[in-house]
Structures are given as C-alpha cells and as structure tokens.
Amino acid sequence: QLQLQESGPGLVKPSETLSLTCTVSGGSISGSSHYWGWIRQPPGKGLQWIGHIFYTGSTYYNSSLMSRVTISVDTSKNQFSLRLSSVSAADTALYYCVRRNSGWRAFDYWGQGTLVTVSS
C-alpha cells in the first residue's frame, strides 16, 4: 500500500523559506505515470493546490504562488520536496503531500499532513 509522509520544521520565521520533504513508501516515484504534489489547508479553511511534479522534473504550479514555490524530486531517495520562500503568516497551514493519479485526474493518496506555523 502506497504511503506518503511529510517531514520538516513546524515553525518558520516570517520572510524565511519553508522547506518540506515527502517520503514515498510502498511504491516508486521513478517511472511512475503519476504526479506528486503539495496541497495546503490554513487552519479552519479549505484546500489550496500548491503544485505538482512528474518524476522527470516537469512541474505545474499554482499561479498565485508561482513566484515563491519550487517543487523538486529526488528519485534516488524516493522523495519530493517543497520550498516556499518569503513566507508570511498567511502561509500558516497544514501541508499535505499527495499523489495525483494521472488517469483519474484526482489526488488519490494523501500524507497525514504537517502543520507549519509562520511566526517570529
């Protein structure tokens, strides 16, 4: 069974860079026909897609975050990562790593989520 697990700091200072890693187990990112991505959820609010990446490195980003977001993949470690620069309190959220099933065109596997708080 495919499992995704987020890891990274739970507290980031304003103007700094948020960095998270998602480790995939039970399946391989390399050669997969699916995409791997990030979705966030501010406390008490709805879901916002951040972006996703194919194992070859091609990416799609939310246009509202594009100038600050980088998603990368490390197939040797079966991991993919998120970097969000110049963070503010508005970036405080639960961050989920996800698999986007390319056939279903839906997010079919989700990590448990990790809370990142932006505060000094």
Q: Are 79 and 6 in contact (CB under 8 A)?
A: no
Give CA–CA dist 70/50, Å, rounded.
Answer: 10
The residue from 102, 108, 115, 117 that contacts another protein (CB under 8 A) is 108
Minimum CB separation of residue 95 from another protein in Å reads: 11
Residues 6 or more apart whose Cβ sits within 8 Å of residue 63: none
The residue from 36, 38, 54, 61 that contacts another protein (CB under 8 A) is 61
Minimum CB separation of residue 116 from another protein in Å reads: 15
Q: Which is nearer to another protein, 9 or 110 (CB)?
A: 110
Asked if 2 is part of the footprint of another protein (rule: CB under 8 A), the reply reads no
Give CA–CA dist 87/108, Å, rounded.
Answer: 28
- Which of 53, 56, 32 minimizes the C-alpha distance to 98? 53
C-beta neighbour count of 39 within 10 angstroms: 22
Minimum CB separation of residue 53 from another protein in Å reads: 13
The residue from 21, 23, 62, 78 that contacts another protein (CB under 8 A) is 62
Binding residues vs another protein (CB under 8 A): 46-49, 51, 60-63, 96, 100-101, 104-108, 110-113
